[in-house]
Structure 1
Amino acid sequence: MLTTVEGVYLDGQIERKNLPIKVAEESKVIVTFVDSNDVDLATHGIDKSQAEALRNSLATFAEDWNSPEMSIYDNYDAIKSQL
């Protein structure tokens, strides 16, 4: 039987968001890291059709956002805090 538990990797450790009932000590586990760029639309109150409409409306800005000159904003908060 497989059971999925959600969590996050932080400071070298995996922190669980929940734990299934009746987990035996020394149970075998498999940890799968998920790309952090994935967005859970439901937690943001957005469904797939709304996300698609938003993506389409913002597509006109993609060329500007992806230009090399915009990389200065990749670490904006860190750079701003150093000023």
Structure 2
Amino acid sequence: MLTTVEGIYRDGQIELKSLPSNVANEARVIVTFVDADVVNLAERGIDRSQAEILRNNLATFADDWDSLEMSIYDNYDAAKSQL
């Protein structure tokens, strides 16, 4: 049986977005790193026209997201642990 769970690699740890309910404790795993710049929208149920609408709606936030002040959130957990 194979179970796929999405997660994030950060500071040597894998953080899972959700915990699978059908996997035993200490189960063997295989970790595959994927290119962060590639998102398959079709796998997420988003078609081309929906993606265009989302892109246009979120474009208004780009200046805030890309500002120097917001860079603290790029590695929030590490910054928080230093407080």
State the TM-score, normalized to the length of structure 2: 0.52
Percent sequence identity over matched residues? 70
Partner in structure 2 of residue 53 of structure 1:
53
Residue 82 (structure 1) shift: 5.0
Partner of 2:57, secondary structure, is helix
Partner in structure 1 of residue 69 of structure 2:
69
C-alpha offsets along residues 53-82 of structure 1, whole Å, 9 cap, x if unaligned?
A: 001001111111111111000011333355
Distance 1:48 1:71, change over 3 A: same
Distance 1:16 1:66, change over 3 A: closer
Distance 1:51 1:81, change over 3 A: farther
Gaps of 5+ in 1: 1-14, 18-33
Bigger Cα Rg: 1
Residue identity matched to 1:65: W
Cα distance between partner residues in 2 of 1:65 and 1:16: 30
Cα RMSD of the aligned pairs, angstroms, is 2.7
Partner of 1:39, secondary structure, is coil
Distance 1:42 1:72, change over 3 A: same
Gaps of 5+ in 2: 1-29
